[in-house]
Structure 1
Amino acid sequence: MPRRTLPTAEDQAARFVRQREADRKATAEDYVELIADLLREEGEARAVDLARRMGVSQATVTATVGRLQRDGLVETKPYRGLFLTAAGTALAAEAKARHDLVVRFLIAVGLDAGTAEQDAEGIEHHASDKALTAFARFLSERGDTT
């Protein structure tokens, strides 16, 4: 077994910085994607629905929605729930496309649909653009254009 060499401190630090940035962005992406899904499927997105579907407390949703509002991704309307801004809608579409690509790739390499959906939840936020491009190229070469 070949011996691994430790990357340079700078390279390793850059990897960890990228990981932490992806973790922060993942929460915003998950929330706007779920809000978009709820608006499309149920006609409204309420904090109580987000809490239930995310498996978090209402207080967590309130704090996160506050950050999303500050970042210009979400608007709230009294007695009417949550709505996405144009930036929020764009981020939700981008996140959904990335998620769908990862799911399709995982299924193509042999995972069942349920496991692919579950694993995609983490991978979609952390895969680099190079990896996503490779996934898309792999699927295209197999004739998967869905």
Structure 2
Amino acid sequence: MKIQESAENYLETILVLQKKNEHVRSIDIANEMGFSKPSISEQMKKFRENGYINVDGNGYITLTDKGIDVAEKVYERHEMIAQVLMDLGVDKETAYQDSCRIEHVLSDTTFSCIKQYYLSNKK
């Protein structure tokens, strides 16, 4: 399964919800992302079949190691890019909105260079 931008957003959302709450259910993801429960259920089925999540008997969703790898990569990009934009003077809301789009199109090489530059020049 090739991970598309929307799938990355789903996995990142699950990671963020897991950081906030003990348990994550499909309805929590639907509420957070503003999508319908059937859309979420369909995507969760694909993730489960492809080894990105586990769903227990109570309907609680957890990321597998494979899912965590993708989610943490996207989350790191999202947070780092938003911080760089805010440091450049972009307001927080716009920085996070723009970061959410930028994070998916940057190559690993470009992101690595941005991260290295930012961290070495941050005071």
What is the TM-score when the length of structure 2 is the normalising length? 0.87
Deviation at 1:103, TM superposition (A): 0.8
What is the rounded CA distance, in whole Å, between the counterparts of 1:135 and 1:82 in structure 2? Answer: 33
Equivalent residue number for residue 39 of structure 2: 60
Q: Is the alpha carbon distance of 1:61 and 1:132 closer, same or farther for their aligned partners in structure 2, counting shifts above 3 Å? A: same
What is the rounded CA distance, in whole Å, between the counterparts of 1:91 and 1:124 in structure 2? Answer: 12
Stretches (4+) displaced over 6 A: none
Equivalent residue number for residue 87 of structure 1: 66
Equivalent residue number for residue 10 of structure 2: 31
Equivalent runs, 1:65-84 vs 2, <5 Å: 65-84=44-63
SS in structure 1 opposite 2:61?
A: strand
SS in structure 1 opposite 2:4?
A: helix
**Percent identity over the alignment?**
25
User: Is 1:105 equivalent to 2:94 in the alignment?
Assistant: no
What is the rounded CA distance, in whole Å, between the counterparts of 2:16 and 2:93 in structure 1? Answer: 19
What is the rounded CA distance, in whole Å, between the counterparts of 1:69 and 1:50 in structure 2? Answer: 15
Q: Is the alpha carbon distance of 1:83 and 1:137 closer, same or farther for their aligned partners in structure 2, counting shifts above 3 Å? A: closer
Instruction: Give me the CA root mean square deviation.
Output: 1.8
- Structure 1 unaligned regions, length at least 5: 1-20
Deviation at 1:141, TM superposition (A): 4.5
Count matched residues. Answer: 122
Equivalent residue number for residue 46 of structure 1: 25
Counterpart among 100, 103, 123 of residue 124 in structure 1: 103
SS in structure 1 opposite 2:78?
A: helix
Residue by residue, what CA displacement relative to the aligned partner does 1:41-65 show, whole Å, maximum 9, x if unpaired?
A: 1101111111111111111001111
- Structure 2 unaligned regions, length at least 5: none
Equivalent residue number for residue 16 of structure 1: none
Q: Is the 8 A contact 1:68 1:74 kept in 2?
A: yes
What is the TM-score when the length of structure 1 is the normalising length? 0.75
| One-letter amino acid of the structure 2 residue matched with residue 117 of structure 1 | Y
